[in-house]
Amino acid sequence: MTLDRRITEMIRDAAIRLDGSGRVCLTTWERQGQIAMVDLGVGAGREMSSWVRGFDPAWGRFSPGIVNLAALAEHTASTGYSVLDLGPGEESYKARFADGWRGVERTLLFGRNLRPFHTPAQLLPLEQRDLLVERVQGWRARVTRRGGGVNGDGGPLLPPR
């Protein structure tokens, strides 16, 4: 995942504001003066959540993610948190540290007469979004070949409201 400038600034701001509170943990694995792996954990209540992970692939053969996650797990336990949330997904490395799985729920909230900043389709898993895009592009191509209307009459695709 590539982080855009706004997300990077939000993470930086959160880390600065939470510094010293015991609610943020930045673990790094360094080799030969270079950062090979970094994890940012943020705590709330009794849970520590792994927010952002990143590593240098040049060090991949040393499994820096496993080493660093072990350090984050040790920190989580030693500071009184009872859960380390590794985020969504069923990657095999998570099973090494997990004693259970929880479901992930998403909720979309927006005010009356306001449109959300994204479409519900953007909340779909990547594979389903790609399939949806392919289908819509196929529909567009068929409609365009017919002259722009459902019946090839050049009329609107949707009935007027």
Question: What pLDDT is attached to residue 16?
Answer: 82
- Of residues 70 and 154, the one with the higher pLDDT is 70
Domain identity same for 85 and 144:
no
Are the CB atoms for 15 and 24 separated by under 8 Å? yes
Question: What pLDDT is attached to residue 159?
Answer: 46
Residue 71 lies in a domain: yes
Helix (H, G, I), strand (E, B) or coil at 60: helix
Domain range spanning residue 148?
Answer: 117-161
Dihedral of CA atoms 136, 137, 142, 147 in degrees, nearest 10, equals 100
Domain identity same for 91 and 15:
yes
Question: What pLDDT is attached to residue 37?
Answer: 86
Domain identity same for 26 and 61:
yes
Domain identity same for 28 and 62:
yes
Q: Given 50, 66, 97, which residue is the final one in a domain?
A: 97
Q: What is the pLDDT of residues 78-136, one digit of tens each?
A: 888 988 888 877 788 888 877 777 776 667 666 666 665 566 666 777 787 778 778 77
Helix (H, G, I), strand (E, B) or coil at 38: strand
Supply the CATH number for residue 29's domain.
Answer: 3.40.630.30
Q: What percent of the chain has pLDDT over 70?
A: 71
The model carries a pTM of 0.54
Q: How many domains does the chain have?
A: 2
Is pLDDT above 60 for 72?
yes
Residue 130 lies in a domain: yes
